[in-house]
A = this chain, B = another copy of it.
Amino acid sequence: MLSFACDYLEGAHPLILKKLSETNLTQEPGYGFDSHCEKAKSLIREACGRPGADVFFLVGGTQTNATVIDSLLRGYEGVVAAQTGHIAVHESGAIEFGGHKVLTLPGHGGKIHADDLKTLLETFHGDFSKDHMVFPGMVYISFPTEYGTIYSRKELEDIHAVCREYSIPLFIDGARLGYGLTSPACDISLKDLAGLCEVFYIGGTKVGALCGEAVVFPSGNAPAHFFTTVKQHGALLAKGRVLGIQFETLFTDNLYFEIASSAVSLAMELRKAFEDKGIPMYIDSPTNQQFPILTERQVKALEDKVVFEIWEKLPDGRTVTRFATSWATTKEQISSLESLL
C-alpha cells in the first residue's frame, strides 16, 4: 500500500548503494579514520564554506542530539528548546538520561521566538533564586522544525544574537536539513547556516542515507575529546566507512540538495492536491512534511488506501494528519494519492 507516513520508508539513494558495493572489499580502518570519512568531511567543509570545521559522523538523530548537548553543557546547565522540540517530547528522555533538563519555550509552529528566548534568559539572570535553578546553557532548535516550518534568516540572526549576548551556544538539529534549505521559502544557504550557530548537523537518515548524521562545528570548535564522548554515548560506528561513503556520495555533484529539492517540490504538489479538494492545512509548511486536516469520514475513506500519520485530534473532532515526501517519492505516487482524494 502506498505510504506517505514518514520520510524514512525506503532504503538509500541508489548511488549510495552503488558506492557501498563498489568499495565493499577495500580494507579501511575503523571508527571514522577511513578514506571515505576523510573525503566526506572535506566535501562537507567545502559545502559549508568552512575549511576549518570539525566534522563527525554519528548514526541517528536522538543519539546525536544527546551526544552534542551532553558535550557542551556543564552539569548545572540545561538546554533551551521549544515545547514541541524533538528533544523535549520524542526522545524518551535521552537528554535527561544524560543529566540535563530541557527548559522549554512556547512553540510557534514548532519555532521559538528570539523575544521569548531573551525573556527567559533575562528573567533567569534577574531571578534572585537563580542559583537554585537550572542554568540555561545552550539553545536547541530544529531546521526544519517538527512541523515542517523553517526559520528565516532574520529569525535565526535574532536568536543567534541573543545566544551570543548571553554567551551560550546555538545548536541546530538538521535531521531534515536538506528539505529546509531547498524550500522555495528558505532565504539562507548551508554556508549561511554555518555562520548562524555554533554546531549543527546535516541529517542523512531522512535525506537519502540508510543512516547517519554529520555533526559540524563550523569554526573547528568541537569540545575537547568529542570523539570519546561519542564513544561513551554508544554513537561511534565501528565501520565508520558506512557513514563516510554515504556522506561522500550525498555531497558529490550536489546530490543531497537535488534529492531534497525534488521531495519539496512534490510536497508542494501533494499539498495542492489536498487544497484543490478543499482540504485545509494545519500549518503552512514549506518543506517535505504537510499536515492536512481531515474529517472523520475523510480519514476513514483514505486509510484503507494510503498510509499516513495521525498527528493530533482537534477539539472539533477533525484530525490533523501528516503526509511526508522524501528523496524517494515519485511524481506517480503523488498522482496516485491525488486520484484517491
Q: Which residues of A contact B (CB under 8 A)?
A: 2-3, 5-6, 8-12, 14, 17, 20-21, 23-30, 59-64, 66-67, 70-71, 74-76, 78, 89-94, 96-102, 128-129, 131-135, 205-206, 210-211, 224-225, 227-229, 231-239, 241-242, 307, 310, 328
Copies of this chain, whole number: 4
Given contacts A8-B30, A8-B238, A211-B238, contact A92 B232 (CB under 8 A): yes
Chain B residues near A235 (CB-CB < 8 A): 63, 234
Q: Specify the chain B residue showing the minimal Cβ separation from A64.
A: B234
Complex contacts, A129 vs chain B, CB 8 Å = 90
Q: Would you call A100 and B92 a contact (CB within 8 A)?
A: no
> Contacts A27-B3, A132-B228, A242-B210: A97 and B75 contacting too (C-beta < 8 A)?
yes
Interchain CB contact under 8 A, A28 and B9: yes
Partner among B24, B128, B237 whose Cβ is within 8 Å of the Cβ of A59: B237
| B12–A24 CB distance below 8 A | yes
Q: A20-B17, A101-B96 are in contact. Are A66 and B234 (CB under 8 A)?
A: yes
Contact of A93 among B2, B8, B101, B210 (CB under 8 A): B101
- Cα A321 to Cα B24 with chains together (Å): 26
Report how far A20 CA is from B89 CA in the complex, Å.
Answer: 32
How far apart sit A8 and B30, CA to CA, in the bound complex (Å)? 7
Cβ 8 A contact of A131, one of B131, B132, B225: B225
